[in-house]
Amino acid sequence: MSDLLARANAAIEESSPALFSALSPLGRQLVYPPGIPFQAGQARGKKYNATIGQLTDGAGHALRLPSLEAAYAALDEEKRNKALLYSPAAGIPEVRQAWRQRQRAHLEPGASASSLPIVTVGLTHGLSILADLFCAQGSAVAVVEPFWGNYRQTFGVRRGAEILASPAYVDDGEGPRFAADGVARSLGALPEGEPALVVVNLPSNPSGYSLTLAQRDQLRKALVEAAALRPIVAICDDAYAGFVYEEEIPRGSMFWELAGQHPNLIPVKVEGATKELGFFGGRVGFLTFPFAADSAIAEALESKIMDLSRATIGSPVSASQMVVLGALESRTLEEEVEALRQRLAGRYRILRDRLATFDPALGRALPFNSGCFALIELARGLDSEAVRQRLLADHDTGLISIAPNYIRIAHCSVRGEALPELVDRLERGASEVAVAVS
């Protein structure tokens, strides 16, 4: 990143010293990172492309929910009119109400309070809003590592926050296990009373892991304990909510379990139609706070977010919102979502079974049970970027490398029957790199 940034800044300064001198401190820190979108671009056209976490048939075609697809053609006169006009800054009221009903459909009466969801332009916009609201230079943001690289851009580069990373997996002698309370433990070095953000990303990206019932309770208790020492905003990044493939693993968001647990612990739910409804191009996300929809604090937060939206995007996209509303009004939507989950579960099982025989001399698959990804920890001495480049050059295969020695497989974008061959190619590529460096 430092070399990329230096080259970008040097090119601007050489061509236009005046323009370079006008760059803000943030402007001088910005460079498109060699992360997932960059690596996915290099993998475009490869026979096996398991880079991007979007749901496809393995040939680049979206797995479309019938209700969502039909909504395009079925918009009535009123919806078509709204689709062509500006949206309110917080989103179209009917869309927000319909999403809230879907959020709370599984909850018991009298469950945790929640605000009326605020519409964002995808989940990243929602995360960016939270960074603007709660991050200043040096603010602490706790995550488990490896983590989705855009967290660093959103919180660290844009706002100057300090990323506190703790290992996502620990090995206690019986193999790797997910560190359920890792994000809470990483706050221990902070001065007492200093506010912090914690990112709870389940199912996780890049590991494809969701917590067991016991682990969720462990995390909840750890965050409550940490909240006794400082205010904590717990960002529940629910991008892949519901896509869980083992029956004993809870599917619901941790947001509902963290709400109301401690006055210093404030969860915020970040989610959207992007993954949950397979509407990746629609860019319809939602932000929800743990306060009653008609409360003064919910109204105040909404006002602040509307101000941010007005100053950046103007307002969210009306046309996408109306398509989402049409899908939410369909009586068969949840059946379609379940059918999609089952399809992904089939791919998950194929990949899980093949990775169980992954050559231990080359690495190991870390535990995964949900979402769109599996994470391979390569053997010591094997550089993940070298393996990725070998797969691109010699094996017609695109995967994501995460420094220093992780490879991410997006099984959501590969046909199930192709996954064993994809792993075979990964093993061959990794073996060739191992021989070259030995």
Per-residue model confidence as pLDDT tens digits over 357-380 = 999 999 999 999 999 999 999 999
Query: How many angstroms separate the CA atoms of 415 and 184, rounded?
Result: 37
- CATH top class, domain 70-329: alpha beta
Per-residue pLDDT band for 22 (boundaries 50, 70, 90) equals low
Torsions phi, psi for 301 (to 5 deg): -65, -40
The pLDDT of residue 23 = 65
Q: Where are the alpha helices (DSSP H) in 296-367?
A: 296-312, 318-328, 333-355
**Residue 167 corresponds to which tokens in the numbers above?**
């290992």
The confidence score (pLDDT) of residue 19 equals 66
Q: Of 12, 55, 7, whose CA–CA distance to 34 is shortest? A: 7
The CATH superfamily holding the domain 32-53+335-437 is: Aspartate Aminotransferase, domain 1 (3.90.1150.10)
Cα–Cα nearest to 261, from 228, 214, 307, 230: 228
Q: What is the DSSP letter of 117?
A: P
198 touches 232 (CB < 8 A): yes
What is the C-alpha to C-alpha distance for residues 431 and 382, in angstroms, rounded to an integer?
A: 9
Strands 169-171 and 176-178 turn out to be: antiparallel
For residue 133, the tally of other CB atoms under 10 A from its CB is: 16
Collapsed DSSP state (helix, strand, coil) of residue 185: helix
How much is the pLDDT for 305?
A: 87
Q: Where are the chain's structural domains? A: 1-29, 32-53+335-437, 70-329
Q: What is the pLDDT of residues 61-111, one digit of tens each?
A: 777 788 877 876 777 788 877 877 789 889 999 999 999 999 999 998 778
∠ CA(162), CA(166), CA(170), 5° rounding?
A: 170
Q: What is the pLDDT confidence band of residue 24, given thresholds at 50, 70 and 90?
A: low
Q: What is the pLDDT of residue 10?
A: 87
Nearest to 340 by CA among 55, 106, 49: 55
CA distance 9 to 27: 9
Helix (H/G/I), strand (E/B), else coil: 289: coil
Strand blocks (E) in 205-321: 232-237, 265-272, 285-288
Q: Residues 129, 154: contact at Cβ < 8 Å?
A: no
pLDDT at 26 over 80: no
CA nearest to 413, candidates 154, 149, 47: 47
Task: Report the chain's C-alpha Rg in angstroms.
Answer: 22
Identical fold for domains 32-53+335-437 and 70-329, yes or no, is no
Q: Is the pLDDT of residue 314 over 70?
A: yes
- Looking at residue 1, its pLDDT comes to 61
The secondary structure element, H or E, covering residue 374 is strand 373-378
Output the CA angle 245-425-168, nearest 5 degrees: 45
* 31's tokens: 């460079």
Q: pTM, whole model, 2 decimals? A: 0.88
DSSP state for residue 110 in the 8-state scheme: T
- Assess contact for 218 and 182: CB atoms under 8 A: no
Cα distances from 338 to residues 201, 244, 421, in angstroms, run: 21, 11, 27
CA dist 226 and 25 (Å) reads 33
Question: Nearest CA to 325 among 62, 54, 80?
Answer: 80
Task: Write out pLDDT tens, residues 405-428.
Answer: 999 999 999 999 999 999 999 999
Q: What is the mean pLDDT of residues 315-330?
A: 93
Q: Cα 65 vs. chain centroid, distance in angstroms? A: 21
